């Protein structure tokens, strides 16, 4: 009997993000928005804020870069934008749903590696390895070691993602490697820091959009489903509520308590853009 593939909750979360974003927010970007002072924080401006984010990240790519490996490319929207700016872009995408959409969008303009970055094997080399809000999903050691292997001499690694601050015990917003752990680890590898830009305050308003959506859409649906089960199948409802009480409490605390907000994001997360250059021994 064929063993069923274990579902990855992170991949499922990205797939859900694509569906929700495409049909409710009119966007296929799977990253935070970059909120400038002239942009009102509301759901209608979410696509514009996400375009701002893409433009900001692209503006930090050093001169002379030609070949880019986009790790965790989502549906390929970022890769498409890079290709339209004459970069040569390959993608890494472990999610079947996202990969399918990326093929539709990019066609033969990009090679898509259908695997996790940790498992990537290729003889190709790149001027820049890009992690646009995908770094948090990759094992830290593998991310740094593989990037060294796949980079050309004096190539770059660009990481734009959020990290955990030291005191995140009360934070219901998941995701992110611990910042100090990352900084301590990368200092042990031959990378030279070129840029470290803190964009936490620019990205945090995205959580206002998320929190409003959960309060206005998610919570009413959750209540309706719960009420329906309680009225239609009271015995089953009580059994489920007893058996899964801890999970239900966690869902209520995590998604419907109002704690997934911009203030908590700024307190417990640090959104950074790091640009590092690969260092090569003079004898190489």
Residue 96: predicted pLDDT? 87
Residue 26: predicted pLDDT? 52
For residues 114 and 94, the answer to whether their CB atoms sit within 8 Å is yes
For residues 214 and 255, the answer to whether their CB atoms sit within 8 Å is yes
Instruction: Please state, in angstroms and rounded to a whole number, the distance separating the CA atoms of residues 8 and 229.
Output: 28
Q: Is 13 helix (H, G, I), strand (E, B) or coil?
A: helix
Q: Give DSSP secondary structure letters for 206-219.
A: HHHHHHHHIIIIIH
Stretch (H or E) spanning 135: none
Per 3-state DSSP, what percentage of the chain is helix, strand, and coil (rounded to 5)? 50, 20, 35
Distances (CA, A) of 149 to 71, 127, 157, 275: 14, 12, 11, 17
User: Which residues make beta-bridge pairs with 277?
Assistant: 156, 192
How many CA atoms lie within 13 Å of 89's alpha carbon, on the beta-carbon side?
26
Residue 25: predicted pLDDT? 52
For residues 157 and 147, the answer to whether their CB atoms sit within 8 Å is yes
For residues 155 and 127, the answer to whether their CB atoms sit within 8 Å is yes
Q: Is 3.10.450.50 the CATH classification of the domain at 9-201+269-278?
A: no
Does the pTM of the predicted model rise above 0.75?
yes
Distances (CA, A) of 253 to 210, 219, 225: 15, 12, 18
Among candidates 173, 231, 162, 157, which has minimal Cα distance to 199?
162
Q: Could you tell me where in the chain the CATH 3.40.50.150 domains are found?
A: 9-201+269-278
- Output the six-digit token pair for 8: 């990855």
User: Which residues make beta-bridge pairs with 82?
Assistant: none
Q: Give DSSP secondary structure letters for 60-110.
A: TSPTT--EEEEES-TTSHHHHHHHHTT-EEEEE---HHHHHHHHHHHGGGS
Residue 28: predicted pLDDT? 56
Reading the chain (284 residues) residue by residue, the pLDDT tens digits are 444 444 444 444 444 444 454 445 555 556 899 999 999 999 889 999 999 999 999 999 999 999 999 999 888 999 999 999 999 999 999 988 888 888 998 999 999 999 999 999 999 999 999 999 999 999 999 999 999 999 999 999 999 999 999 777 677 888 899 999 999 999 999 999 999 999 999 999 999 888 777 777 877 888 888 888 888 888 888 888 888 888 878 777 677 777 888 999 999 999 999 999 999 765 45
CB burial of 263-278 (b: ≥16 within 10 Å; e: otherwise) equals ebbbbbbbbbbbbbbb
């Amino acid at each position: 009997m064929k063993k069923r593939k274990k579902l990855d909750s992170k991949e499922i979360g990205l797939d859900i993000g694509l569906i929700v974003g495409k049909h409710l927010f009119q966007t296929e970007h799977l990253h935070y928005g970059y909120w400038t002072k002239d942009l009102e924080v509301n759901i209608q401006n979410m696509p514009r804020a996400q375009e701002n984010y893409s433009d900001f990240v692209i503006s930090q790519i050093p001169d002379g870069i030609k070949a880019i490996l986009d790790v965790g490319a989502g549906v390929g929207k970022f890769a498409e934008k890079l290709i339209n700016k004459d970069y040569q872009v390959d993608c890494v995408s472990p999610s079947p749903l996202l990969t399918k959409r990326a093929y539709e969008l990019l066609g033969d303009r990009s090679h898509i590696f259908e695997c996790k970055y940790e498992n990537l094997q290729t003889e190709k080399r790149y001027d820049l390895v890009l992690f646009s809000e995908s770094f948090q999903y990759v094992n830290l050691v593998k991310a740094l070691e593989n990037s060294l292997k796949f980079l050309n001499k004096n190539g770059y690694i660009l990481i734009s993602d959020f990290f955990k601050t030291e005191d995140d015990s009360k934070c219901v917003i998941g995701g992110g490697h611990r910042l100090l752990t990352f900084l301590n680890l990368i200092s042990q590898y031959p990378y030279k820091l070129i840029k470290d830009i803190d964009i936490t305050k620019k990205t945090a308003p995205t959580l206002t959009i998320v929190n409003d959506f959960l309060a206005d859409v998610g919570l009413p649906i959750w209540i309706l489903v719960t009420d329906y089960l309680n009225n239609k199948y009271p015995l089953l409802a009580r059994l489920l509520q007893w058996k899964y009480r801890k999970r239900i409490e966690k869902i209520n605390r995590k998604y419907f308590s109002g704690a997934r907000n911009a203030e908590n994001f700024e307190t417990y997360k640090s959104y950074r853009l790091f640009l590092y250059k690969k260092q090569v021994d003079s004898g190489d």
